[in-house]
């Protein structure tokens, strides 16, 4: 609240922030101070799922003007390296990323960002939808990496926010059937609402038993598994469940070392792929939202003003609802 309003550089814009979603990684940094090698050493502003209004543009910015409503892509390459040249800028080792130490996020009133990574929102796309493009992008990138296409049978492991966006995107990309597993009955009900064809509530089954249930409800083994939990047993189930010649995409992040049936995957030619965030997804997501081909609005279950940020974080920490959204603009009176 007491930080000075930043001045945008030549290729930056100053934004008055509007909507910022809380991500599990935000909560993890808040609670534990690190994720893997990313360690919080100094005070850091959280938030990377965001939208806002342009209030000032740098001298070199021509595609945006004050008053424009924009969605913010939080990852900005600092240099034109080999990864940027091949279109995979998310893999650039020097990338700036909101709310990843030591880079500040955008859960604040005013924030400056690279203009090239701010995308104008059409009039029929809300600020909240703009903020939801960030988690939606994880689904777009994961389903692209998985090769989801017309008629695909897809197993999504985990029904949290990232599992749900993968359900939405997989159906949008032509999946004929999507089955979702989770421990929580309420989260599985939300998955049904978002388009899942089948749900399985996991209790104390072995990974092989989970795989067998997936095959049973689909009527076949899925060609694609999107693993969104990072839990060792779930990764194991994902490999066992996937059809020979299929693909497992690891989206969820858990322990650095996990034990998996890698020989099972190898001899059946099951490809195991990782994803790191996303790239080139904001224009796609905006086009889908503007055309009403997808609906992400039901993902938001709780809303708080910025003044109640602690309460919002506590709500997310307790696992209540799906997506918690903070509203940073005190002058906004929209519901």
Instruction: Name which of 312, 291, 263, 288 is nearest 49 in CA terms.
Output: 312
245 backbone φψ class: left, alpha, beta (φ>0; ψ -120 to 50): left
69-72 and 300-305: which strand pairing?
unpaired
Phi–psi pair at 273, nearest 5 degrees:
-120, 150
**Rounded Cα distance, 151 and 109, in Å:** 45
Tens-digit pLDDT profile for the chain (335 aa)?
567 899 999 999 999 999 999 999 999 999 999 998 899 999 999 999 999 999 999 999 999 999 999 999 999 999 999 999 999 999 999 999 999 999 999 999 999 999 999 999 999 999 999 999 999 999 999 999 999 999 999 999 999 999 999 999 999 999 999 999 999 999 999 999 999 999 999 999 999 999 999 999 999 999 999 999 999 999 999 999 999 999 999 999 899 999 999 999 999 999 999 999 999 999 999 999 999 999 999 999 999 999 999 999 999 999 998 999 999 987 776 65
Q: Which residues pair with 324 in a beta bridge?
A: 302
User: Is 323 in a helix, a strand, or coil?
Assistant: strand
pTM (2 decimals)?
0.96
| Radius of gyration (C-alpha) of the chain in whole angstroms | 20
Q: What is the CATH number of domain 139-274?
A: 3.40.50.720
* The pLDDT of residue 322: 94
Find tokens 């929580």 and name the residue.
Answer: 184
Ranges of each domain in the chain? 12-120+296-327, 139-274
Q: Assess if CATH 3.40.640.10 describes domain 12-120+296-327.
A: no
* The pLDDT of residue 67: 98
Say if residues 249 and 227 touch (Cβ distance below 8 Å): yes
Say if residues 256 and 232 touch (Cβ distance below 8 Å): no
**Rounded Cα distance, 197 and 252, in Å:** 22
**Rounded Cα distance, 153 and 171, in Å:** 10
Provide the total of helices (H) and of strands (E) in the chain, helices listed first.
10, 17
């Amino acid at each position: 609240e007491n930080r000075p309003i930043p001045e945008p550089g030549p290729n930056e814009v100053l934004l008055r922030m509007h909507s910022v979603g809380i991500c599990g990684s935000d909560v993890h940094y808040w609670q534990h101070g690190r994720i893997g090698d990313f360690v919080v050493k100094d005070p850091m502003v959280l938030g990377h799922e965001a939208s806002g209004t342009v209030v000032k543009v740098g001298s070199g910015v021509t595609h945006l003007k004050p008053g424009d409503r924009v969605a913010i892509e939080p990852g900005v390459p600092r240099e034109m390296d080999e990864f940027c040249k091949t279109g995979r800028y998310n893999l650039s080792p020097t990338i700036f990323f909101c709310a990843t130490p030591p880079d500040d996020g955008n859960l604040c009133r005013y924030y400056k960002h690279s203009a090239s990574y701010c995308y104008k929102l059409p009039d029929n796309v809300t600020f909240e939808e703009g903020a939801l493009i960030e988690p939606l992008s994880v689904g777009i990138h994961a389903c692209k990496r998985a090769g989801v296409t017309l008629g695909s049978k897809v197993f999504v492991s985990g029904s949290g926010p990232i599992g749900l966006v993968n359900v939405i995107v997989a159906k949008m990309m032509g999946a004929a059937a999507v089955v979702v597993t989770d421990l929580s009955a309420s989260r599985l009900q939300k998955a049904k609402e978002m388009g899942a064809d089948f749900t399985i509530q996991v209790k104390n089954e072995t990974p092989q038993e989970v795989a067998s249930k997936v095959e049973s409800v689909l009527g076949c083994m899925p060609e694609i598994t999107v693993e969104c939990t990072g839990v060792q047993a779930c990764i194991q189930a994902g490999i066992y469940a996937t059809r020979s010649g299929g693909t497992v995409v690891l989206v969820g992040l858990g322990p650095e070392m996990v034990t998996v049936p890698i020989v099972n995957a190898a001899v059946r030619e099951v490809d195991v792929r990782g994803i790191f965030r996303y790239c080139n997804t904001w224009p796609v997501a905006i086009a889908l939202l503007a055309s009403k081909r997808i609906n992400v609005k039901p993902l938001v279950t709780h809303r708080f003003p910025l003044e109640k940020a602690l309460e919002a974080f506590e709500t997310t920490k307790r696992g209540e609802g799906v997506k918690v959204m903070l509203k940073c603009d005190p002058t906004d009176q929209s519901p």
